Amino acid sequence: MINQLTPQRVAHRRAIKIRKKYLYRLEVKKLKPNLVEMLIRCQGGLYIKELIHGDEGRTSPSVSELMDTPAKCVELDVMDVELEASKLDEIKGI
């Protein structure tokens, strides 16, 4: 469970509240001494950049918090989006 207070970068357009989101899977591959690649499977709505850097404590736990060192997202790619069957039915108008 990840607790995220509305990130600073979106606070001007989103409600200020704590969002509780699930992190289902995290794979880490070390590329260099100070660079890793992470494959993250998570619940929709989780702010990934903030999961990495912690947003000054607004996201907990974060990679920075767990590693006890500053971290930042240098590149972000969405690999896949999965929809629940009920959401897919809504989109199809069923």
Band (pLDDT 50/70/90 cuts) for residue 83 is: confident
pLDDT by residue (tens digit) across 31-73?
999 999 999 999 999 999 999 999 999 999 999 999 999 999 9
Domains located in the chain, CATH noted: 2-92 (3.30.70.3190)
In three-state secondary structure terms, 31 is strand
Q: What is the pLDDT of residue 67?
A: 94
Query: What does the CA dihedral 42, 57, 19, 40 come to, rounded to 10 degrees?
Result: 0
Asked if 37 and 52 count as a contact pair (C-beta separation under 8 A), the reply is no
CB 42 within 8 A of CB 63: no
Q: Are strands 23-32 and 59-60 parallel, antiparallel or unpaired?
A: unpaired
